Structure 1
Amino acid sequence: MSNQYDLAKMPVKKLIETDAIKNKFAALLDKRAPQFLSSIASAVSLNPSLARVDQLSVINSAMVAATLDLPVNPSLGFVYIVPYKNQAQPQIGYKGYIQLAQRSGRYQRLTALPIYEDEFKSWNPLTEELEYTPNFHDREASEKPVGYAASFKLTNGFEKMVYWTYQQVDDHRKRFSKSGGGTEPKGVWKDNYEAMALKTVIKSLLTKWGPMTTDMQSAVTADEKPVEVDTEIKDITPEDDPNSIESVLNAPTEPATKSEVKPDALKPDITHDPNAGKQPEIFDGQQG
């Protein structure tokens, strides 16, 4: 039986206890590594489907988030670890893209919001003029936006805006999202449609018109794609690591208990009130 096969089957909760994996994350996150490793286990607890995929792919997906210094707690909405067939893959949330843009120090303003029928007048893609009249009030959960808009202003004065209709966003989901595609939304798209719709327009805006920093390029490359196996983790042996696969697998296993993690909300914390039809500026100023 190969080490790689054993690692793929070992529960994430035990994988993160091995010295090899602890050292990998410590090299990236230093003192924050233990908390980050705990959040990986929490992410699996909140999404039982992740326990049924290659467990090493969960670790490698989390490694992508750690490299970008973004949390994997699904309730925060920066990076989701999602199952696809027998593999896990990282899915960057709209807050993740905003965070990476903000770190560049080149954005004076970055805003995204859903737009409802009683607010929308017209959109001119040539002049990028959106005739929009905010109508702030509580909305029924069944009321869908007619579209989503995102815009930014750089510190050098350059501005850009995009507007996608609801149908354009949904067509994009069906065509490009592996884990959330199909006729009906699945996975993260089913649970957090508005957040993923905002991610779609923000990603399009930033990657087509915004400065492409190294972190932004890495995020786009990794987003919703399988990650390669870390060969150093794959080749753990008893001689290399006293907490290796063999020693952990042979350790007594405690009876399975229900997870103590009780999420208050699986939906990410959206910075606007989804029922009010409004979106404050996500950040504004010279934050770096």
Structure 2
Amino acid sequence: MATNNTAKNQLSQRKNNAPSNNGGGTNANTIQAYLKKMGPEFERALPKHMDADRLGRIALTTIRQNPKLLEASIPSLMGAVMQAAQLGLEPGLMGHCYLVPFYNGKMKETDVQFIIGYKGMIDLARRSGHIESIYAHAVYENDEFEYELGLHPKLVHKPAFENREDMAFVYAVAHFKDGGYQFEVFSKNDIDLVKQRSKAGSNGPWKTDYEEMAKKTVIRRIFKYLPISVEIQNHAAQDETVRKDVTEEAHSIHNEDYIQVEATEPDEEEGSEQSNNEQVDENLQKEAEGLFDKA
């Protein structure tokens, strides 16, 4: 997607009005300025039912809640937000998608991985117009659970009312508008193997929302059996990818030399922010120019 040179010029004009970038991190006001200037590009990428201002506010809140994201490279951070815009998903606590920081050992910088959440996967599947309903559930040890494959597949799950104990399985079911259906079952061990292969396996949503990520994993597995378009299949393939900037194609994080970093708990207080009249650090300004020069 081409980036408007006007945004670059406007950022340059505001150089003396943006907050500073001290101590290796980026001031939240600076990121807010980037999000605002990227607004027209987000607007062009977003589906009609979403608003660029709302996306910018949600993204800024998500970034402020995880100080590690303030340490990420601006191009990578804006690239992750652009991925959310292009897929029409909102980052943050709603579970549509997540922005997870990683230390890039090759580039010696923190980059941002884009991860689709359980609700995001459900939303993508429903956009096909061929899905009557799609859902996933976790099965615990004391639940009554039975499934079989073959000529007449069968799945029965009756949750226990109390003392369900530990998770044992996760399953996903999709009912099609033509009357057909598809289901997939993963054991807890299957889920953990997927988690172990993920660069975000020890932090981010795998740490804070394990059951939701388990559901997302099994939903993602049945995508190949669903009557959905190539475009939506491609959207689902954006899961666990990273961009170097807003114009570059997303790449799987598994193909890069990344070192995971622990997500940080949200600050109770944001602390004092730098004055808007301080000058942006020269390195940050060069990074901004590089971001838009690739248009």
TM-score under structure 2 length normalisation: 0.67
| Structure 2, gaps ≥5 residues long | 1-11, 13-20, 104-109, 249-273, 280-295
- Structure 1 counterpart of 2:246: 230
Within 2, Cα distance between the matches of 1:49 and 1:139?
Answer: 37
Say if 1:113 and 1:148, in contact at 8 Å, map to a contact too: yes
Q: Map residues 128-139 of structure 1 onto 2, 5 A cutoff.
A: 129-130=153-154, 132-139=156-163
The letter for the 2-side match of 1:124 is E
How many residue pairs get matched?
224
1:41 matches 2:63: no
Say if 1:97 and 1:216, in contact at 8 Å, map to a contact too: no
Q: 1:194 to 1:231 in 2, by over 3 A?
A: closer
Within 1, Cα distance between the matches of 2:231 and 2:65?
Answer: 27
The correspondence for 2:184, drawn from 162, 167, 179, is 162
TM-score under structure 1 length normalisation: 0.69
Say if 1:15 and 1:21, in contact at 8 Å, map to a contact too: no
The correspondence for 2:90, drawn from 50, 65, 71, is 71
Q: Map residues 1-288 of structure 1 onto 2, 5 A cutoff.
A: 10-11=26-27, 13-18=29-34, 20-29=37-46, 32-72=51-91, 74-85=92-103, 86-127=110-151, 129-130=153-154, 132-139=156-163, 143-175=165-197, 177-180=198-201, 185-206=202-223, 208-231=224-247, 252-253=277-278
Say if 2:170 and 2:218, in contact at 8 Å, map to a contact too: yes
SS class of match (2:183): strand
User: What are the Cα deviations for residues 26-84 of structure 1, in whole angstroms up to 9, with x where unaligned?
Assistant: 32347821121111111111212211221321111011111111111x21000101112
| Structure 1, gaps ≥5 residues long | 233-248, 255-288
Within 1, Cα distance between the matches of 2:129 and 2:44?
Answer: 25
Identical aligned residues as a percent: 25
* Bigger share in strand: 2
**Cα drift, residue 228 of structure 1:** 4.0
RMSD: 2.9
Within 2, Cα distance between the matches of 1:126 and 1:187?
Answer: 38
- Structure 2 counterpart of 1:286: none
Within 2, Cα distance between the matches of 1:146 and 1:26?
Answer: 43
Within 2, Cα distance between the matches of 1:53 and 1:42?
Answer: 15
Q: 1:149 to 1:55 in 2, by over 3 A?
A: same
